[in-house]
Homo-oligomer: A and B are copies of this chain.
Amino acid sequence: MSEPVSRPSGRSAAEEALLDAAERLLVEVGYAGITTRKLAEAAGVNHGLVHYYFGSNENLLVRALERFTDGLIARQQALYDSDEPFVEKWRTAMRFLVDDDAAYEKIWLELQALAWNDPSLRTRLAHVTAEWRRVLTDAFREPHRQLEIGMPLEALVTLVITFNLGIIVERLGGIHTGHAELLEWIDGWLSS
């Protein structure tokens, strides 16, 4: 027999390797280029294991999405939970945003593109975005008051989230025009 088991004790190395391979392939070829055999090859395991551990190719991507988004929320929490002053948090976040290594962002947006055509995945991503919004709203409450920003807090958070997302998308398309200028002006404005 070789039926998928009810998640025994510890995850096998192969299972983790396949999820890692999924993330790597999302970066390298995008979700549309991911096949059972490519996954297995990238993970260095037999291609039958995709069925053994995940049942199907699609399910593997769902699991990869869940693992990735769990990590994403934790990472965002950690950034804004620290004791640093707000300006430092902002600078760290913006440094991540324009980092040369866009692997994390590529995975995130490939998963979003996948979800555009899969309503069940959209639910999961909507939850992550809501969590992200919550974290940012908390983080911006104090600076929003202190810096006397005209617009309502919710509008400010929306603006920050969306322009960040837009920068990521442009960068994935190879466009960098104006990004540095915008971020530098914001940085200078925060410092004053």
Q: Please give the distance in Å from A27's CB to the nearest CB on chain B.
A: 10
Residues of B contacting A152 in the complex (Cβ-Cβ under 8 angstroms): 181, 185
Contact between A181 and B155, CB atoms less than 8 A apart: yes
A36 within 8 A of B: no
Contact between A173 and B125, CB atoms less than 8 A apart: yes
Residues of B contacting A13 in the complex (Cβ-Cβ under 8 angstroms): none
Interface string of A1-31 (1 = CB under 8 A from B): 0000000000000000000000000000111
Q: Please name 14 further chain A to chain B contacts, defined as beta carbons within 8 Å, in addition to the given A133-B177, A154-B178, A162-B165, sorted by A numbering.
A: A29-B117, A30-B117, A31-B32, A32-B32, A112-B173, A115-B173, A116-B172, A155-B181, A155-B184, A155-B185, A155-B186, A158-B182, A162-B163, A162-B164
A85 within 8 A of B: no
| A33–B117 alpha-carbon span in the complex (Å) | 9
Contact between B161 and A166, CB atoms less than 8 A apart: yes
| A169–B117 alpha-carbon span in the complex (Å) | 13
